[in-house]
Amino acid sequence: MQIEPFQHEFERVQTDLAAGPILPSVTVEEIRGYLTDRYQFQKELPLDEVVQDAERMLRTWQVQVTHPRYLGLFNPAVTLPSVIAETLVAMYNSQLANWRTSPAGNEIERHTLGWLAARFGLPAESIATFTSGGSEANLSAVQVALSHVFPEYGERGLRGLPAAPCLYLTDEAHHGFNKIAHTTGLGRRAVRTVETDRRLKLDVDSLRRRVRRDRADGWAPFLVVGSAGTTATGVIDPLPDIAQFCREEGLWFHADAAWGGAAVLSPALKGHLAGVEHADSITCDAHKWFSVPMGCGMFFCRHRESVARAFHADVTYVSGAQSGPVFNPLTHSAQWSRRFIGLRLFLALANLGESGYAAMIEHQTRLGDALRRALAASGWQITNETPLPLVCFTRERLDPAAFLVALHRRQIAWMSEARVNGVPVVRACVTNFRTTETDIHEIVEGMNQLWQEGAGCA
Ligand SMILES: *Cc1c(COP(=O)(O)O)cnc(C)c1O
């Protein structure tokens, strides 16, 4: 594949995006009317024409999450190597369900995940797979933990267990766990919300009390989620204390590092993830802070046998899926047919190198600090505490929702609303390695101006 034409197109898109609006103004009627009028698929259209049209729709009808002033929900700008990887994978249409069909793809994934597992401090015998995202990885963690803690779960199901299993997390943890409790049959009531301290970190004393009470009430506690970078506020739970507690109590410790996990590549930041190396399983999304395209999560687990037990399948018709020294994803993960998910991370790591990645992550962290300082200097109150580039803020008499409407209408930046201790605030997260210090200062100036004009004043 020739890189040059690709690079040229990639740069054109970046330049166009940065000069254009961050969010669209379009109605559902407009889009549906356009598609209905134009696309009944009754006659052939020239490829060039439909590609141009699709790109025009993408450019005008979506929030541009790769815009340098999108300070949003962990959706990253993407690197050239990761985009090239996507095209390569599609062209060769690699099938990674079993090793034999794609030794190349499978070994590249194994190599990449093994390298990253070592960065997390997991032992060499741990196992890892790429997933569709953090949600599939968190779901895998719950399924594997159930199979590990309750060996009869796989054959007899939850109703075969003598007591109802329950799991522990804080209100700040990812809300996908409610959905996971529902779909696994645990039931949403099996999710126990543990109190947080003043800084929104999981309170281990509260956890201990809750586990004790549940056991006394006949429940079977089995898993604790520690977040390494919560979605709303970027808080890192006390991972070493959670690990210690789980060890004492025989509970599975799952570290949800969907966004924050990338910090292990930064010498300056990795200390904040201390304790993650004790986790039984880890979720980390490459499609967040590793800046690769959507659909690239990762699930790491130190208990290889439990993963094999949770996802075992009888696959007599898939050649070589049963035995041998190699690893078949279809008997070790939720997916069956499997896309070559990991090439985008492999190519990006190979091209940028570990220090290139660290520089990218630290750049965004510095911008987070710059944003915090600039906001504080002009009278905004910072309401969250994290070393990661995620800033929650407000000011007296601010109505965050109304302020965000004005901010978005003026196309100053894209930010979201979050709650800190029940209070609505504005949430800004640096997710783009192309965002500059100038962007940050102009955004804060723009917000100050808006506030002076009375926007979002309750
Ligand atoms: C984003 C996120 C998830 C969910 O991951 P997806 O990739 O969106 O499925 C889970 N946990 C945390 C902490 C997250 O930030």
pLDDT tens-digit profile of 47-67?
A: 999 999 999 999 999 999 999
Residue listed under structure tokens 């091209």? 351
How much helix, strand and coil, in percent to the nearest 5, is found in the chain?
45, 15, 40
- On the question of pLDDT at 326 being above 90, the answer is no
Q: What is the distance between the alpha carbons of residues 150 and 137, in angstroms, rounded to a whole number?
A: 20
pLDDT over 70 (residue 322): no
Question: Residues lining ligand 1, CB < 6 A?
Answer: 74, 133-135, 138, 174, 176, 227, 231, 256, 258-259, 285, 297
Dihedral, 276, 202, 258, 66 alpha carbons, nearest 10: -130
pTM score: 0.97
If you take atom 3 of ligand 1, which residue's CA is the nearest one? Answer: 134
Mean pLDDT of 260-269: 98
Residue 7 has pLDDT above 60, yes or no: yes
Q: Which two tokens stand for residue 294?
A: 């959507």
Residue nearest to atom 15 of ligand 1 (CA): 231
Which atom of ligand 1 has the smallest separation from the CA of 285?
A: 7
Cα 311 to ligand 1 centre (Å): 22
Q: What is the mean pLDDT of residues 220-245?
A: 98
Around 372, how many Cα atoms within 13 Å sit in the side-chain half-sphere? 19
pLDDT tens for residues 409-456? 999 999 999 999 999 999 999 999 999 999 999 999 999 999 999 999
**98 burial level (CB within 10 Å; 0-12, 13-18, 19+):** buried
Q: Band the pLDDT of 235: cuts 50, 70, 90.
A: very high
Angle, in degrees to the nearest 10, between helices 103-120 and 343-377? 40
Radius of gyration of the chain, Cα coordinates, nearest whole angstrom: 23
Main-chain phi, psi angles of 391, to 5 degrees: -120, 125
Strands 165-170 and 191-194: parallel
Residue with the smallest CA separation from ligand 1 atom 8 is: 134
DSSP letter, residue 195: P
Q: What is the pLDDT of residue 317?
A: 63
Q: Exposed (0-12), middle (13-18) or buried (19+): which is 232, by Cβ within 10 Å?
A: buried
Give the span between the Cα atoms of 20 and 59, in whole angstroms: 9
Q: Whose CA is nearest to atom 6 of ligand 1?
A: 134
Give 119's DSSP letter. H
**Reported CATH class of domain 95-339:** alpha beta
Residue type, 443: I
Max CA distance (Å), the chain = 70
CA distances for 210 relative to 238, 254, 339, 388, angstroms: 17, 18, 41, 29
What does the alpha-carbon distance between residue 305 and residue 147 come to, in Å, rounded to a whole number? Answer: 10
Q: CA torsion sign, 168 to 173 to 178 to 183?
A: negative
Q: What are phi and psi of 283, to 5 degrees?
A: -105, 130
Comparing C-alpha atoms, which of 142, 190, 191 is closest to residue 171?
Answer: 191
Q: What percentage of the chain reaches a pLDDT higher than 90?
A: 96
The DSSP code for 233 is: T
Q: Which amino acid is it at 78? A: V
Which amino acid type is present at position 301?
C
**Lowest-confidence segment of 201-205, 244-248, 314-318 by average pLDDT:** 314-318
Q: What is the mean pLDDT of the chain?
A: 96
CA–CA dist 219, 191 (Å, integer): 12
Cβ atoms of 107 and 451 closer than 8 Å? no
Q: Are 184 and 162 in contact (CB under 8 A)?
A: no
The alpha carbon of 173 and the centre of ligand 1 are apart by a number of angstroms equal to 10
Whether residue 339 is predicted with pLDDT greater than 60 in this model: the reply is: yes
- Identify which of 132, 3, 18, 23 has the alpha carbon closest to the alpha carbon of residue 407: 23
Q: What's the pLDDT score for residue 318?
A: 62
Distance in angstroms between the alpha carbons of the first and the last residue of the chain: 56
Structure tokens at 68: 């340098």
Q: Which atom of ligand 1 is nearest to the CA of 133?
A: 7
Q: For 113-144, how does the pLDDT look when each residue is reduced to its tens digit (9 = 90+)?
A: 999 999 999 999 999 999 999 999 999 999 99
